[in-house]
Structure 1
Amino acid sequence: MQQHILHALRRPCKVDILRRTLSSNTSNGETLTIKETREKLKLLVGAQTIWGSSTAGSVFAPVATSQDEIPPRTMAHSFRKVVIPLGTNPMLKEKYINFYQGIRFGRILEDLDTFAVDISYAHSHDSAHPDKKSPLSIVTALVDRIVLCEQPILPDRDIRMQGNVTWAGKTSMEVTMKLDQEIDQNWKQLLEAKFLMVARNPATKSAAVINKLIPEGPEEEALFKLGEETKAKRMLESQKTLLKTPPDENERLLIHNLFLETLDPKASTFKVRVKPERSVWMEDTLLKNLVICMPEQRNLYNKIFGGFLMRKAFELAYANACLHCKGRAKVLVVDDIAFKKSVEVGSFLFLSSQVVYTLDNHMMVKVHAEVVNPKDDSRETTNDFYFLFALQSTEVPRVIPKSYAESMLYLDGKRHFDS
């Protein structure tokens, strides 16, 4: 009994966590855990702690209308370190470990989303008044890319997360994060992730301005320039999507050759289709799931947490990849996750996964997420997810489209693979 009391007394209260924000993540300060970071964000935003209870967040603080009204920031201002204490807190291991004695990557996606929000608020919040609630709502607009390293993520050692804002526009910012673990007394990188975050005025739901970012030195200027180039590339690719423009000449030729491969040479007709050797029809790779969105999965703003959506989509994609290759697939890249619409608590979320492109031992899996209205079966797209998986050495069965719509999915998957 006495041990339980002492343990409770040692536990930091929520106010203490918020006050530690400024001293944490520095060379002399204490690094917060990812759980403490979530608690800190709840206080910073004034989130509803119990579903259905009233909050003090109905009165919103004034939001700046111009970037000239708020001070500019440096990249160092938003730099943060957070730890996932898998080694120092063995009880946490159960939440993160998978049945291969490896890591549940979906949990890492959840933590990355939380950390990206934390870094974004560090960029925009007034550090001179840490107890003051933020006037902004900051959400994830896009997971630009997550690239995993060869180093496996171990479930029994602390994971160090560090990152900062590397580019900022008027209402959006790019957050770059890196994860590493200490292996053989050396810190080895696990992955690098880039998220695009957007600021909103919680009262009007419109875009809100954020602090300008001033790069210091050639290295930071190069990072900022890369962010500008990435933004321009995203805008260009959005205009070249297959939903707006037809395939180019090389893509049309590729689809035609794939079609010719599926014709029966003895039939002399376009109607008889045969599956090439060591291949699978794309329609046979479809795997679906339905998620009822509960209050437990809500974020700071009472919408469904983006990290939860990513975890559910990844786990469905992973299962699909393993079923397709009849083996243990490894995720290499998470690419271009667009959050097109927030998901409300109580929604029926329909997830549809499909292997859309294969090459050698690689496969691209797309997950389409849509909210289903049970009254009239109407659907609205909320997210598209792209995951690149690979086998160790064995080639995976080729995926072959049958219809024109599947051919467009195939080209879409190839574009993401080639990028």
Structure 2
Amino acid sequence: RLCALGKGQLTPGRGLTQGPQNPKKQGIFHIHEVRDKLREIVGASTNWRDHVKAMEERKLLHSFLAKSQDELPPRRMKDSYIEVLLPLGSEPELREKYLTVQNTVRFGRILEDLDSLGVLTCYMHNKIHSAKMSPLSIVTALVDKIDMCKKSLSPEQDIKFSGHVSWVGKTSMEVKMQMFQLHGDEFCPVLDATFVMVARDSENKGPAFVNPLILESPEEEELFRQGECTLIFLPPNAVWMENSKLKSLEICHPQERNIFNRIFGGFLMRKAYELGWATACSFGGSRPFVVAVDDIMFQKPVEVGSLLFLSSQVCFTQNNYIQVRVHSEVASLQEKEHTTTNVFHFTFMSEKEVPLVFPKTYGESMLYLDGQRHFNSMSGPATVRKDYLWNP
């Protein structure tokens, strides 16, 4: 179906074929029902005081988790297809929640609704008819893409969302969603979104298997192929950032104290440098030498007797250079809470070209960009003779 969005502009709908254009003639969710349905599926309460009890009850759902994906029945794309109505026009009392000061629709609210819709869609795909609650904890892993077909939305016309699972892995799912707004008697497309969700166990402590997907038409095969293309594949001569970590633990003995009876700052820098050097050595496969140290800030003094936890990670590489970030945190014997004391940034050069590092998560992406910034702040390329190499 094509719907005119502007003068001379036609945009085809994507995803599964849409149902009737009048939402009142079919059973679809109201936007308020989405959150209620999610609470029902996971057994969550609207009262915070009941949270602990609800989490204890979810532990009992472990027995419903599949040991392998082969145990789960396959599902079709249309099994997870749902539609949700956001009646901004027909329910003016709802409109206030979605209005900006410029009398337009708040896009942040739309993002919230898309996220809830994506989670509910995945629960529909993995529905267990013999259980009232789902043993899965489904969370958003990635917002792959959101394409707007229209610059602004009218706050006085109803909006309809639709979504379905379009790709399935072992423990992850891709959800295709569309948003339409009423123009006259027609719902016209205004937004396309692709989210990637992951399934965790009932306590959200580990991955869980999801139902496989059956493809019933060439259109569904194409959607599935597009889903595979959104996956992050590691290119040749590259390493995931999560596989470049080293950790160490130091007991802060009195012999390392300074004249003020705190742990000597030089001791902290030495230990951080040695761990960073070992990380670069292990990653690059040769003995590296340091070419730059950047931005060491002492955020908190370290008391004698504390436990010092150091974690090191390669966060950026280029040619022979290895950018290493070392995070230092301390825990006293009386308190179990860890507190950050320092973050160290070291730039090493290896004797040979090193692999690229690739982030997987949002947090790793932020570390990658920060590492790149510290690397670019280096004054210039290093040229150091081998007989002048610095070792720990």
TM-score (structure 2 length as normaliser): 0.54
Q: Which runs of 4+ in 1 moved over 3 A?
A: 25-29, 233-244, 372-386, 406-409
Q: Which amino acid aligns with 2:373?
A: A
Tell me the distance in 2 between the aligned counterparts of 1:78 and 1:238.
Answer: 39
Q: Which amino acid aligns with 1:160?
A: K
Offset of 1:64 from its aligned partner?
Answer: 0.6
The reply to whether residue 198 of structure 1 matches residue 198 of structure 2 is: yes
Tell me the distance in 1 between the aligned counterparts of 2:338 and 2:59.
Answer: 31
User: Hey, what does 1:360 align to over in structure 2?
Assistant: none
User: Hey, what does 1:88 align to over in structure 2?
Assistant: 90
Offset of 1:122 from its aligned partner?
Answer: 0.5
Corresponding residue to 2:373 among 390, 395, 405: 405
User: Hey, what does 1:70 align to over in structure 2?
Assistant: 72
Which runs of no fewer than 5 residues in structure 1 stay unpaired? 1-24, 245-371, 387-402, 410-419
Q: Secondary structure at the match of 2:84?
A: strand
Tell me the distance in 2 between the aligned counterparts of 1:28 and 1:151.
Answer: 29
Q: Secondary structure at the match of 2:116?
A: helix
Tell me the distance in 1 between the aligned counterparts of 2:188 and 2:147.
Answer: 14
Tell me the distance in 1 between the aligned counterparts of 2:83 and 2:109.
Answer: 18
The reply to whether residue 152 of structure 1 matches residue 172 of structure 2 is: no
TM-score (structure 1 length as normaliser): 0.51
How has the CA–CA distance of structure 1 residues 108 and 236 changed in structure 2, closer, same or farther, with 3 Å as cutoff?
Answer: farther
Query: 1:209-220 counterparts in 2 under 5 A?
Result: 209-220=209-220
How has the CA–CA distance of structure 1 residues 72 and 192 changed in structure 2, closer, same or farther, with 3 Å as cutoff?
Answer: same
Contact persistence 2:23–2:85 (CA under 8 A): no
Deviations, residues 367-393 of structure 1 (Å, cap 9, x unaligned): xxxxx999845799984699xxxxxxx
The reply to whether residue 125 of structure 1 matches residue 93 of structure 2 is: no
Deviations, residues 148-193 of structure 1 (Å, cap 9, x unaligned): 1135211121110001000001110000000010113332211111
Tell me the distance in 2 between the aligned counterparts of 1:101 and 1:26.
Answer: 25
User: Hey, what does 1:57 align to over in structure 2?
Assistant: 58
Q: Which amino acid aligns with 1:148?
A: M
Deviations, residues 108-128 of structure 1 (Å, cap 9, x unaligned): 0001000000000000012x4
Offset of 1:49 from its aligned partner?
Answer: 2.5
Contact persistence 1:151–1:189 (CA under 8 A): no
Deviations, residues 2-23 of structure 1 (Å, cap 9, x unaligned): xxxxxxxxxxxxxxxxxxxxxx
Tell me the distance in 1 between the aligned counterparts of 2:177 and 2:196.
Answer: 11
Tell me the distance in 1 between the aligned counterparts of 2:100 and 2:234.
Answer: 38
User: Hey, what does 2:268 align to over in structure 1?
Assistant: none
Corresponding residue to 2:43 among 30, 42, 46: 46
Offset of 1:405 from its aligned partner?
Answer: 1.2
Contact persistence 2:62–2:202 (CA under 8 A): no
User: Hey, what does 1:343 align to over in structure 2?
Assistant: none
In our comparison, the structure showing a higher alpha carbon Rg is: 2
| RMSD of equivalent CA atoms | 3.8
Offset of 1:87 from its aligned partner?
Answer: 1.2
Q: Which amino acid aligns with 2:211?
A: N
Tell me the distance in 2 between the aligned counterparts of 1:174 and 1:158.
Answer: 26
Q: Which amino acid aligns with 1:143?
A: V
Tell me the distance in 2 between the aligned counterparts of 1:123 and 1:237.
Answer: 35
The reply to whether residue 223 of structure 1 matches residue 223 of structure 2 is: yes
How has the CA–CA distance of structure 1 residues 40 and 378 changed in structure 2, closer, same or farther, with 3 Å as cutoff?
Answer: farther
Aligned residues: 241
Tell me the distance in 1 between the aligned counterparts of 2:28 and 2:118.
Answer: 16
Contact persistence 2:137–2:203 (CA under 8 A): no
How has the CA–CA distance of structure 1 residues 89 and 71 changed in structure 2, closer, same or farther, with 3 Å as cutoff?
Answer: same
User: Hey, what does 1:32 align to over in structure 2?
Assistant: 29
Offset of 1:57 from its aligned partner?
Answer: 2.9
Contact persistence 2:74–2:211 (CA under 8 A): yes
Q: Which amino acid aligns with 2:162?
A: Q
Offset of 1:78 from its aligned partner?
Answer: 0.5
Identity fraction in percent: 40
Tell me the distance in 2 between the aligned counterparts of 1:229 and 1:178.
Answer: 19
Contact persistence 2:58–2:202 (CA under 8 A): no
Determine which structure has the larger strand proportion and give its number.
2
Which runs of no fewer than 5 residues in structure 2 stay unpaired? 1-21, 244-328, 331-336, 344-358, 366-370, 378-392
Query: 1:214-293 counterparts in 2 under 5 A?
Result: 214-231=214-231, 233=232, 235-236=234-235
Deviations, residues 304-341 of structure 1 (Å, cap 9, x unaligned): xxxxxxxxxxxxxxxxxxxxxxxxxxxxxxxxxxxxxx
